[in-house]
Amino acid sequence: MAGKRTGPNLTKIGEALGVSSATVSNALSGKGRVSADLVKKIRKKASDMGYVPSNAGRALRTGRSGVLGLVLPDIANPLFPQIAQAMESAASANGYGVLIADSRGEVTTQTDAIGRLIERGVDGLIVIPRRGTRIGTVGCPVAMVDTPSTPGNTVSADHWHGGEQIAHHLAGLGHKNILLLGNDPASNVQNDRIGGMRAAFPADISCQTIWLEPILRQGGTTASLNLPDLVKNGVTAIATVSDLLALRVLTELQTAGFRVPAQVSVTGFDDLIFSPVVTPALTTVHMDMAQIAKIAVAALISEITGNRDKKPTPASSKKRTVPDTVMADTSRVPMELIIRSSTGPATPDQTPLPNGETL
């Protein structure tokens, strides 16, 4: 007999004490009305016997698994650790487990991943959708973590506002000629960040936006950007859409002999693990993942337990067009500007000093 439990169960505890398993169940869960001292006796016995409740039994009976699924577009994403950590923490604080699935950037894989999670019986799904993807009805509550500009109900950081903060910071330092660097123009998140920045720059600031991904896709290299030339021609700040891009820019500039921030300021987004470690440390925008996770998990759980007594009448289930998506409406979590040393005042003298003899 495969993997059969060897440990104690409710019945065995009951037998040891001469009570029924129902009473043990009630005592342990604190639900039924069981006399205080019986409860105490049962609890002690259970812990003495090393009782571990069976999730399978409970799940089969209640129809709930106590597990949430986390669908990630690409686990290799450097932001993923923050996301997974926050979700795991929020979920386990509520007694839920987290099952992960990696969609490896493919839409079909995303669908498969969701399917696998559903089969495993998750009670709800947190999905960080692949760029611009929509999730159909899946038969369980879904919380999406994306951008506020994504249609549908989502939790997300307010990327637009993050962009505004970067813009104000840079404008306040006197920069007038700014390069905005994005990666993928199809990304809602990146568009919001760039959009926020552009919207917040005063009229006297000239800025241009370059998207890297399309250049690379057409066989170009990072070098085609020619950052040094741009700087020589007057750009005093480069605001990127991610710390990874900022790191790329920063080191490329340093290698070319420019001094950051003395000659050029550089900013990122996301406050990735390496951002404070680099010299100069990156000015960036931090998202409160813990908060996002808390909201997503709370929304999911309220939907899961809220449905508890509503017996799904066929009629009502027909009426709901987007039945499985959670969250009253879009929640925006503020982002926090983190000023570090990669940004500084715009140099009055725009002349390039590649080899930085001014040290």
Residue list 283-322, contact with a second copy (CB under 8 A)? 304, 307-309, 311-312
Q: Please tell me whether residue 19 adopts helix, strand or coil conformation.
A: coil
SS3 content of the chain, % helix, strand, coil (to 5): 40, 15, 45
- Is residue 328 close enough to count as binding DNA by CB under 7 A? no
Tokens of 204: 């006297």
Choose which of 78, 105, 152, 214 interacts with a second copy (CB under 8 A).
Answer: 78
Rounded CA separation 313/161 (Å): 42
Q: In this structure, are residues 298 and 68 in contact, taking their beta carbons and an 8 Å threshold?
A: no
Q: List the single partner that 354 binds among a second copy, DNA, none, CB under 5 to 8 Å by kind.
A: a second copy
Residue with tokens 């027909």: 318
- Is residue 340 close enough to count as binding a second copy by CB under 8 A? no
| Half-sphere CA count of 226, side-chain side, radius 13 A | 5
Residue type, 127: V
Choose which of 9, 133, 209, 347 interacts with DNA (CB under 7 A).
Answer: 9
Strand order in the sheet with 206-211: 206-211, 177-182, 237-240, 265-267
What residues numbered 158-197 form the site for DNA, per CB under 7 A? none
* Alpha helical stretches, state H, the chain: 10-17, 21-29, 36-48, 55-62, 80-93, 107-119, 159-172, 188-200, 212-217, 227-232, 243-255, 289-306, 314-319
Q: List the single partner that 38 binds among a second copy, DNA, none, CB under 5 to 8 Å by kind.
A: DNA
Binding mask 50-69 for a second copy (x = CB under 8 A): --xxxxxx-xx-xxxxxx--
- Is residue 22 close enough to count as binding DNA by CB under 7 A? yes
Query: How, if at all, do strands 177-182 and 206-211 pair?
Result: parallel
Q: Which is nearer to a second copy, 35 or 85 (CB)?
A: 85
Choose which of 120, 220, 233, 345 interacts with a second copy (CB under 8 A).
Answer: 120
Give the shortest CB-37-to-a second copy separation in angstroms: 27
Q: Please tell me whether residue 351 adopts helix, strand or coil conformation.
A: coil
Choose which of 40, 48, 62, 234 interacts with DNA (CB under 7 A).
Answer: 62
Tokens of 245: 């891009």
Q: Which is nearer to a second copy, 65 or 150 (CB)?
A: 65
- Quick one: which segment of 48-56, 91-99, 230-238, 273-281 binds DNA (CB under 7 A)? 48-56
Q: 332 pairs with which residues across the strands?
A: 156
- Is residue 34 close enough to count as binding DNA by CB under 7 A? yes
Q: 325 pairs with which residues across the strands?
A: 142
Give the shortest CB-60-to-DNA separation in angstroms: 4
Binding-site size for a second copy (CB under 8 A) equals: 75
- Quick one: which segment of 59-67, 241-249, 280-288, 336-344 binds DNA (CB under 7 A)? 59-67
Choose which of 257, 323, 334, 345 interacts with a second copy (CB under 8 A).
Answer: 257
What residues numbered 181-240 form the site for a second copy, per CB under 8 A? none
- Quick one: which segment of 127-135, 155-163, 210-218, 241-249 binds a second copy (CB under 8 A)? 241-249
